[in-house]
Chain A
Amino acid sequence: MAIAKVLLVDDEIPFVETMTKRLTKRDLDITPAFSGNEALKRLKENDNIEVVILDVKMPGMDGIEALQEIRKRYPLVEVIMLTGHATVESAIDGMKRGAFDYLMKPCDIDHLISKVSEAAAKKRQHENKIIEARMKEITGRRV
């Protein structure tokens, strides 16, 4: 089984393609997307995506807007912001709006994987807690 199911969003197609190859090789299940809108579409299609790697600066819907949408629609999905240096502030802004973390381009692949793992773990933990809560609820009802 893959380490995590990841949606990789960046408007730079070669970057997405290469990263997809490299990350897939490192046991990540990657779904590529090239814009904010496409990312939302992919999330809608695949409800098992755990982590979104989101570029901050994109034409059209940018990373921050996409982040807000994602957090609104899929609160359990963790988002890692990916940024060029010029948008460090917006990355911080993203953190405040509920992103899991941010990374600077070009980033170390291993570092990225560890972040993704953490994010996935956090997501699963959340999910587990929810399941537990539900179970408690259900068991509580039974009692």
Chain B
Amino acid sequence: MISANLSAIFYLISGVLFILALRGLSSPETARQGNFFGIIGMVIAITVTFLSIGSFSTGFAYVLIFLLIGGLIGAFIAYKIPMTAMPELVAGFHSLVGLAAVFVAISAFLNPEAFNLGSPGDIKLGSLIEMSIGAAVGAITFSGSIIAFLKLQGIMSGSPITFKGQHPLNALILISIVVVTYLLCSTQSSSLFWILLAISFLIGFLLIIPIGGADMPVVISMLNSYSGWAAAGIGFTLENTALIITGALVGSSGAILSYIMCKGMNRSFFNVILGGFGAIEQSGSSGSKEQRPVKSGNAEDAAFLMKNASSVIIVPGYGMAVAQAQHALREMVDTLKKNDIKVSYAIHPVAGRMPGHMNVLLAEANVPYDEVFELEEINNNFANADVAFVIGANDVTNPAAKTDPQSPIYGMPVLDVEKCKSVLFVKRSLSPGYAGIDNDLFYKENTLMLFADAKKMTENITKNL
């Protein structure tokens, strides 16, 4: 058994190691070392917890068993999961953090003596407030992440689900959460605690259903942030420094990512959260628009254009992930490079379904990370490039964001693909993208549409090179 002061120091050390884990991610070279720091921090935190309890009773065996069961499941998932499924995986993991926070809060509420928080029915007020916040945020994280997971997995439709009176209903529930928390803290009633959990689960569910599939980068980042705040709430209850530091880090990390994602779409956070984007706009304009001529081509045409180019910029999007085309794409690029054609990749901040989604897929396909560029880094290069190869992206290339103030995506930063000498657009059909709007790029003089599955088309192009 070690003293409370000593264990507090060790918790502080593991908190510092977690900061270093995030710090390492500032560059791919230091990132692996950072992850290692994170693991050490976790080992220290768990070991110290064991030591601070001291008496090695039979309960310990059960702790190890449950730890091992979880660990094996986690390790199995980590090795099996395909990289294209990362968004679902992260959403699933968020839900587990949320649920774990809820369970710890329940346990502390039922048996406050174990945590030195008072006795049942007479819990210290401060602890009860912290506990309620941790439990409520944890419950919202859990049910929200489940919905996000179902939408990303395709089990639930990715289109926004909206109904009349949705926003007033949500507002009412959010207010009732505050009221119930207040009543819970003044009466210590256990039934109010369960009611608080129930309505928190409900609001998590209701908050995410109106948000469409392509807004998932914001949702995942937001839930990431919530899982941090939930952990911090529990950290305050348990008076544990490691948990407080980590909760704050994760909370601000998720918030920053949501901000970056919103900025990438030029939409306010509230606009995304209120949801319904892209669901309604479609019906009005599509009927009135006349059919415009489109140039379409096949793999041979595309190969011909690329063979005669001296530089090619690849613009990947969610469609590449769906078609699992990243490996075929890299093979195509290898062939291009053999012909001394300069190739680089342009990544829009909201390409894919989560922050950094495209980068991971390209890394998986052995694309060196110094060939992959962010929007600001590469946008000026389109004017000097010969061919832009757009694979599975749409709205992020739409010039209407710069020219048409009526467009719902007006003001969104887009890749200046149209400045290239020619544009190759791999797409299944002319259907509009997520925002429900037509892409002018399809009808440009220098655009060649390649209607096909992204993977098959890329493979065919490689054959023709």
Does B associate with A? Answer: no
